Structure 1
Amino acid sequence: MNAPTLASAPANASTKTSRAARTRLVMAAAVGNALEFYDFTVYAFFALVIGKVFFPVNDPVGQLLLAVASFGVGFFTRPVGGLLIGMYADRAGRKKAMLLTLGLMALGTAMIAAAPTFAQVGIAAPVILVIARLIQGFSAGGEVGASTTLLLEQAPSNRRGFYASWQFASQGLSALAGALTGVALTATLSASQLESWGWRVPFVVGTAIVPVGWWLRRTMEEAPRESIEAAPKAPKAPKLPLVTVLREHGRAVLNGLGLTIGGTSAHFIIVFYLSIYGVKTLGLPGWTAMLSGCVSGAILFVVAPIGGYLSDRIGRNKLAQTTRILLMLAIWPAFVILNKSPTAGTLLAVVTVLSIVHSLNVGPTGAMLGELFPRSVRATGAAIVYSLGVAIFGGFAQFFVTSLIVITKSVMAPAWYVIGCGVLSVIAVACMRDRAKEALD
């Protein structure tokens, strides 16, 4: 009678330990990732002020274009960071790669916080800004592959979508934090104070809280016992993971790019660009646009895990296709309504509806990307397709759309951009096998 009791105790303890380790893992990946993308978010929200401080062009539109272009230049190094850090994660471990990305992001953020303005050092100011953005882009390119892969590999087999969804939920948390910072500063500081020193505050805050993310990642467990036991003979990473990915998984790369293109175009338009659109095109006050960022960030943080959970139950492809088509159908009338009734209430209503659909759509995306590749090259493959898609169709989304509005004289350009990218995503998902009910490896 005593033997079963004694035998069951370690099993129960092991289960509790495993559950605690997974909870700590989600916190480390989510909080660390949120800290990384917080810096990208606050730059987007303060693009108008940064344009005035670093690019003294007489034309306000020219200032905005240069500011969002410097925002986009960081995405040039995303594919490079995705490749190099992804390979490092496959060969040295996900944890070491995640610590590296956090350290690099801290460096880039500190450089922006302390950067002199054009009035102080002339052309050196935008040069320093661009270098900092390149470092941040390199870091973010490797962050997604390493952290998403770690979440996916350590999740219970029937909850991979939910666990991986925290990658994108944490981006919503960062958008919320960045927008709240912007609202607080805009409400308490004058325009001259914002241009003088107020814009630096969010970047100082981002630098100061990096140690929290570092501590969480430094002390987390990388491989739970049951994950190792489930695949004791998993192949080691090849010496040249990129060659293996391109040679043996070309179709997975194309499908992953298509999936990423649809999600990232919608993300940067809904979460980031609408705040600028509200000010520059609709003529709304700055605090209203910032508030829209708070709404979209909060919704992404809450709803993305719901999307991940649903994908574990009903299938990833079905959810991804349905919500993508709904978003494509909604984006055009949303911009029509915005321009016919350019009020704060309309903007917030549109952002709320679009953000809910978008958040449900990106919920399963992290798991879908990771499930495209085997363990030996998973971080490299996921990082490459995500960073390339985001670099091309996300990083320069604001620049492309702003330019299209100027060239075509049409305020509907953002809607057409999201619809066009959405078509590519629908095609890609149609070519993917749904692996929600299959073993990961």
Structure 2
Amino acid sequence: MAAASDRVHPPSGEATDEGLTFGAVLGATIGNMLEFYDFVTYSFFATQIGHAFFPSKSEFASLLLSLATFGAGFVTRPIGAVVIGSYSDRAGRRPAMILSFSMMGIAILVLGLTPSYEAIGVAAPIIIILARLTQGFSLGGEVGPTTAYLMEAASARHRGLAVSFQPASQQIAATAGALVGEILSLTMTSAALDTYGWRIAFLLGAATLPFGLWLRRALPETLHRAETPAITAANVGTAKKLRSSTRLLGLGLVILASGTIITYVTQYMTTYAQHTLHVGAPLAFATTVVSNAIGIVAAFFGGWLADRVGRWPIMVWPQLVALLLTYPIFLWVVESRNSAALLGGLGLLALIGSIPYSAFYVGLAEGLPKSIRGGAFATIYAVAIAIFGGTAQLAVAWLTEVTGNALAPAWYLLLATAVGLCAMILMPETAPSKATASVKTSGTV
């Protein structure tokens, strides 16, 4: 950390020791939300994109090729995490967030404007794959710096709520994407949606890029800001700090893998409802809109609770309830295939299942030394996403097809939730009011 004389003096609107200003929260989370909107919108229109860029005599083959391209965006996420995340630990959170946002902007424009396979042949899928790789690189470097920023700019007693804007902004993005899909499906014919309607969703995201860049350029920097830590990091080298945090990073990786599977299977529900359950597009998109909207409220509620009762109980107990509810809810959905099950059942699962991750995000950020926080958080997040996020929807689609059982998503979710619960039980408590005594006795960094 820089000496006191080298610290950046707070400009107007700088987060002070009293905590995060509304403008700083808005700037960080809106940028994050816009990035995730651009990234996840692809999954909502996987069927239409498959038709445009991966035409095939087999509807299933076209869908698989489209989902595989969606997965290609996860390959470069660890690279982006290391490059942009470590850059945020050296140069600052703000320049790293501006860099990742700018790259995402270029990629989303390419996705929205590339002609179809019918128009330019094999060049079309090649361009789309390159755009997805660029998206993955930029988003890989987004989450670590943004989470570090939110935690560092907040007062110790409000860290949980501040960091909850990270998962909440992702839910807002997913809700916005699904809502756009819902509106387009209600106002356009299937042929029009297939031909050009899905491009509108991407270009709407691109239209917000100037606003997002303006917000991020105005953010105050937090890298050199004096911190009131729950855990005081020793003045040791980066390698030693990483070694001392190995157990925490390992648990974090497992929990992020679990959360990633849950998130991307949930986002797949629009395609699942249309392709497997054969419900209409309006209800399919509405399912994701409702689940994600509920998830926004749950993410904020989880952060609020984590500030009051600690990180550990808010991780563990809701995760256990989600584990117990997953199979009965999916059984209800598959057997009834009506709006009550799709909206109410999956909405309830989203409510319970979203609460633990706000507590986890802040707990992981608090447990990492500041000088490696952005890069380390980004890297394990991106590795978990690359391995499990990029394959989640493909795996569920494949399992459903080969088994002929519409309950395949529930099996995958049950395994992910159970593994995540085990890791959450082993996570340390890092809330400032509860962690100090245990830290002093254990020497944990």
TM-score relative to the length of structure 1: 0.91
Give the distance between the partners of 2:384 and 2:164, measured in 1 at CA: 18
Q: CA deviation at 1:361?
A: 1.9
Residue among 246, 260, 263 paired with 1:264: 260
Q: What residue identity is the alignment partner of 2:250? A: L
1:149-185 per-position Cα deviation (integer Å, ceiling 9, x unaligned): 0101111111111110100100111111111111111
What runs of 5+ residues in structure 1 fail to find an aligned partner? 1-12
Matched position secondary structure for 1:321 = helix
Residue among 249, 255, 262 paired with 1:253: 249
2:97–2:216: 8 Å Cα contact kept in structure 1? Answer: yes
1:39-59 per-position Cα deviation (integer Å, ceiling 9, x unaligned): 122111111100111001111
Give the distance between the partners of 1:237 and 1:220, measured in 2 at CA: 29
Per the alignment, residue 112 of structure 2 pairs with: 113
Per the alignment, residue 339 of structure 1 pairs with: 334
1:72-94 per-position Cα deviation (integer Å, ceiling 9, x unaligned): 11011111111111100001101
Give the distance between the partners of 1:432 and 1:166, measured in 2 at CA: 21
Per the alignment, residue 80 of structure 1 pairs with: 79
Q: How does 1:26-425 map to 2 (within 5 A)?
A: 26-223=25-222, 227-228=225-226, 230=228, 243=239, 246-270=242-266, 272-425=267-420
Distance 1:14 1:415, change over 3 A: closer
Tell me the C-alpha RMSD between the 2 structures.
2.3
2:111–2:202: 8 Å Cα contact kept in structure 1? Answer: yes
Q: CA deviation at 1:316?
A: 1.2
Give the distance between the partners of 1:78 and 1:96, measured in 2 at CA: 18
Q: CA deviation at 1:198?
A: 1.4
4+ residue runs over 3 A deviation:
13-21, 233-238, 243-248, 438-441
Distance 1:16 1:276, change over 3 A: closer
Give the distance between the partners of 1:419 and 1:352, measured in 2 at CA: 17
Q: CA deviation at 1:247?
A: 3.5
1:245–1:381: 8 Å Cα contact kept in structure 2? Answer: no
1:259-309 per-position Cα deviation (integer Å, ceiling 9, x unaligned): 112222111222x11111111111100111111111122112222011011
Distance 1:237 1:49, change over 3 A: farther
Per the alignment, residue 9 of structure 2 pairs with: none
Q: Which moved more, 1:347-356 or 1:21-30?
A: 21-30
Give the distance between the partners of 2:65 and 2:247, measured in 1 at CA: 36
Give the distance between the partners of 1:308 and 1:103, measured in 2 at CA: 29
1:215-267 per-position Cα deviation (integer Å, ceiling 9, x unaligned): 11101111399x42758x988896xx5x5565443212211111112222111
Give the distance between the partners of 1:393 and 1:408, measured in 2 at CA: 21
1:187-236 per-position Cα deviation (integer Å, ceiling 9, x unaligned): 111122222221111111111101111111101111399x42758x9888
Q: What residue identity is the alignment partner of 2:93? A: R
1:258–1:427: 8 Å Cα contact kept in structure 2? Answer: no
Give the distance between the partners of 2:268 and 2:189, measured in 1 at CA: 23
2:301–2:355: 8 Å Cα contact kept in structure 1? Answer: yes
1:353-383 per-position Cα deviation (integer Å, ceiling 9, x unaligned): 0110122122212202212311110111111
Q: CA deviation at 1:19?
A: 6.1
Give the distance between the partners of 1:175 and 1:429, measured in 2 at CA: 25
Matched position secondary structure for 1:167 = helix
Give the distance between the partners of 2:391 and 2:79, measured in 1 at CA: 17
Q: What residue identity is the alignment partner of 1:311? A: A
Q: Which moved more, 1:278-287 or 1:366-375?
A: 366-375
Q: What residue identity is the alignment partner of 1:253? A: L
Q: Which moved more, 1:100-109 or 1:311-320?
A: 311-320
Matched position secondary structure for 2:157 = coil
1:418-440 per-position Cα deviation (integer Å, ceiling 9, x unaligned): 11122221222222211013479
Give the distance between the partners of 1:433 and 1:164, measured in 2 at CA: 18
2:81–2:378: 8 Å Cα contact kept in structure 1? Answer: yes
Q: What residue identity is the alignment partner of 1:52? A: H
Distance 1:120 1:244, change over 3 A: farther
Give the distance between the partners of 1:244 and 1:110, measured in 2 at CA: 42
- Percent identity reads 37
Q: What residue identity is the alignment partner of 2:279? A: L
Give the distance between the partners of 1:70 and 1:16, measured in 2 at CA: 40
1:28–1:220: 8 Å Cα contact kept in structure 2? Answer: yes
Give the distance between the partners of 1:263 and 1:435, measured in 2 at CA: 20
1:113–1:200: 8 Å Cα contact kept in structure 2? Answer: yes
What runs of 5+ residues in structure 2 fail to find an aligned partner? 1-11, 440-444
Distance 1:83 1:14, change over 3 A: closer
Distance 1:79 1:200, change over 3 A: same
Q: CA deviation at 1:17?
A: 6.7
